[in-house]
Chain A
């Protein structure tokens, strides 16, 4: 519990409106898009780096826990106050500070919503590729500390590939700048990329510098429709093997297709076993050619039909629907736990088979979505968290899936992070030496252990 005195001091920094301690307000910061809830003692909504500095000086002096939060769209309780204390919400620091067209970079505050930033740079014919499914919700700061991936990973990589530099506030309240605005920089350790993906355990990001690309001139979206899930999986492996690099390569199975159609009414093929949603982008001539090659390729691999979108609007509608997949699946069951184990892409078809087998064995309904081009699986475990017995089966199914991913050289998490959702599996992938190094790094940044306590590194300690 926070002392009334501490609350008073925080109010003196951000004012009473942006220091929330009423039970109703705390309840609305107790969740993210995962299933657990943790009630914070207070929520602070800073609007400047100076305020964050003042907050951290107070917090470190009083040993008060602080957990940073963007939009709360995470999938592993990463932004929740797992041990109480303060939730520091960056939703009010949402200005785009600079878009530099001459040197193709931008500087933003952490609370800027990713999709809003994308639209702003696209107006200037620039392009910010990292594109998590939650881009319409998630913030740039959240994407940085979680190293968010997303749908364009297969061609353009992930958030870490675009972060040039950061301004961060350390748990002590010191401000540190990392990186530069230049495309190359080998000055010292790469703290930028260390903080990127640190799940808010090392420092609080208050400014982000990202590099931008020229906007691809044109884009086509293809829907390859399959009667057989296996064929869809094999197509993906073959496309990658053949050296074709689409901008996105998404796979969805029948359950997902049905839920999306129910929401968006786009005429998706309800009788199909799977659909591959494929974007090709670039120069108009190349795109035309590539679209034809990909379509032909899919047909040869057993696609019963390939639809090519005819307009930008049609592209957009399909992707709006795809982005809604996580929410739309709640039409089937009230709780959805998304796994994101990732395997080498050549194993995609067998991995999907394995997932369905795991579901059957544990009597858990699983729908399959995948950023297929990256081998990044998103099995949706459909359940109802009020049913304890069912949740135990879900847990066992997760265990089985982790066993499988580890056995084929995959990873625990492709892009959602560890949080508390996968903390118990961490020693399966990381050696005692790696964990020791990571804990030492944490200790250097945050000797008091006040930043995002209860997160992945502390499991089993």
Chain B
């Protein structure tokens, strides 16, 4: 069901076109159906019953990064991204998910199926050399390569410190847990050094963002409810996330979604107030004395889910600047989407990598040796499109952890 407010929202579009050129997808494809203005028109016509949810309609609606650039640029304040997300779920509810989305739903709503699937994918790669690099797993991840383990299998549930100055819950998200355990270990290491006890609640589920971005709102309810139950604890100072996407889900999307679905959004709002990106919690502390000089040139890419969704732009930069000797250089249009948004790299890989080209060029122009970004999907997209360039793709917390002096 689409709420009355959102139904009225489509009439706010006056078709001025200011959303066209900032849209990464339109900029690449250059036809109106690939623009936010075009998609709003289609949603409007569909709500008015003047067009079907045809295959082409769905294709146009899903050729979108959900990067929220249009929403940020719309002078009439149209919530284009909310409309897009709601319409996507309308499609799934009325027509059922196509098989990849259906499978995604099955995997992400169950705690055991996802690791099993990933294990199979990697095994296929490991066993058959012809399959190398053909799975959807990030090439730079050690996950399920011989001898590797998921983060939550590697570290205990509670990571205590001798002198407790604070206590945080750590929402690891799937990407950090399975693909990038080093990011998680860095988070724990740095927070521990600052005297914070870090708890990784067992039984945490996928945040659900990939599900509800694809339109599976109802399916994601299970994830949302379980996570809210597990993380709404009064005895902790904050809930820490290192993943921009999980952060956006916990801080913003949960409450909006529940509201749009007519559910009780209060628990989500309560949680949202306590969720912090790792860069936000660290920006408050004086890390400088713990850090040794790292004479590197680093550039920072703003993930859509962190910059536009959460308004966190300066904190990761400030964090990196705390490292002595590190030179932070701005790339051109750091806030522009890298092409890794929503499921575009899987659904329309050629469009996604076309969008990435511009980002890669901006990165290379900085002559940095490290590109840092707080979103696993950005890191994956950038990493896979960098080519043979020896630029390291890292989470800012990994850069910090590497600079941390031995105590």
Residues in chain A within 8 A of chain B (CB atoms):
18, 20, 22-25, 27-33, 43, 45, 71-73, 89, 91-92, 94, 111, 113, 115-116, 134, 136-138, 262-263, 323-331, 334-336, 384, 386
Contacts and interface: CB of A to CB of B under 8 A. Distances in A.
B185 to A, nearest CB: 41
Given A72-B15, A134-B16, A327-B14, A28 B42 contact: yes
B18 A91 contact: no
A327 B33 contact: no
Interface string B1-30: 000000000011111111011000000001
B50 to A, nearest CB: 8
B30 A91 contact: yes
A45 B12 contact: no
Given A28-B41, A72-B32, 16 more contacts: A20-B33, A22-B54, A22-B56, A24-B51, A24-B54, A28-B32, A28-B37, A89-B32, A92-B31, A137-B16, A137-B21, A263-B77, A327-B14, A327-B76, A334-B11, A384-B11
Contacts of B51: 23-24, 27
Contacts of B74: 327
B75 interface: yes
Contacts, number: 112
B222 interface: no
A165 B17 CA distance: 28
B104 to A, nearest CB: 25
B60 interface: yes
A263 B12 CA distance: 13
B38 interface: yes
B21 A113 contact: yes
Contacts of A262: 77
The 3 closest A-B pairs by CB, nearest first: A327-B75, A330-B76, A324-B75
19 contacts: A24-B33, A24-B60, A25-B31, A25-B32, A27-B41, A28-B35, A33-B17, A45-B31, A72-B15, A89-B32, A92-B30, A136-B21, A137-B16, A137-B17, A137-B20, A138-B17, A327-B75, A331-B75, A384-B11
Given A24-B51, A25-B56, A263 B75 contact: yes
A116 to B, nearest CB: 7
A45 B15 contact: no
Contacts of B13: 330
Given A24-B33, A27-B45, A72-B32, A334 B21 contact: no
Interface in B348-389: none
Interface residues of B, number: 31
Contacts of A134: 16-17
A175 to B, nearest CB: 23
Given A134-B16, A137-B18, A335-B14, A328 B31 contact: no
Contact of A73 (B16, B31, B76): B16
A45 B77 contact: no
B285 to A, nearest CB: 30
- A325, A327, A334: residue with the most chain B Cβ atoms closer than 10 Å: A327
B56 to A, nearest CB: 5
Contacts of B76: 263, 327-331
A20 B38 CA distance: 14
Contact of B42 (A24, A71, A386): A24
B290 interface: no
